[in-house]
Amino acid sequence: MTQSSSFRRAGREYALRVLFGFDFLREAGEESPFLFSPNWWKEDDRLFIAKESELFARQLILAACKDRSRIDQFIQKHSQHWRLDRMSPVERNILRLSICELLDEKGAPIKVIINEAVELAKCYGDVESPRFLNGVLDSLAANIRRASDEL
């Protein structure tokens, strides 16, 4: 694994953890007060990650939060027979992060983004999560960069 992919992997993992937490805060009716704090990712020393990973994680989190409703509509439109509220928070947020990366024209190649999503699902999801995410992302990845105007 190259240094570039290593810092991106750590950033994706951290972004997933943060978005997962945001889901529960929103369900409780709270907005995250630390989202725009300059050092929000360093509030817990156990979660320290390299500066490059922090910056990449912040970029993903801000993009996912900024366009959350539109990204969720996009997921809903392309995930057959699955409503967002029926997906696990892990699956839902891996899809959000992956779509943010797919929409970034300077982002990683599509295959890398899908593989990274599957790896996150193996670590944080249930037994069926990797297969589910691979199927959803594979079906929409072919046209998501072209379809970014849908968002």
> What is the DSSP secondary-structure string of 90-146?
HHHHHHHHHHHHHH-TTS--HHHHHHHHHHHHHHHS-TTHHHHHHHHHHHHHHHHTG
Cβ–Cβ under 8 Å, residues 101 and 113: yes
Per-position pLDDT tens, the chain of length 151 = 555 678 899 999 999 998 998 887 765 555 554 554 445 555 554 456 788 888 999 999 999 988 888 888 888 887 878 888 889 999 999 999 999 998 876 778 889 999 999 999 999 999 999 999 998 898 877 666 565 555 4
User: How many angstroms separate the Cα of 92 from the Cα of each of 5, 10, 43, 52?
Assistant: 23, 19, 25, 25
Q: Which CATH number does the domain housing residue 132 bear? A: 1.10.940.10
Cβ–Cβ under 8 Å, residues 12 and 97: yes
Which residue range is the domain that position 37 belongs to?
A: 3-150
pLDDT at 36: 44
pLDDT at 46: 45
Q: How many domains does the chain have?
A: 1
Interatomic CA distance for residues 49 and 34, integer angstroms = 17
Q: What is the largest CA-CA distance in the chain?
A: 41
pLDDT at 2: 58
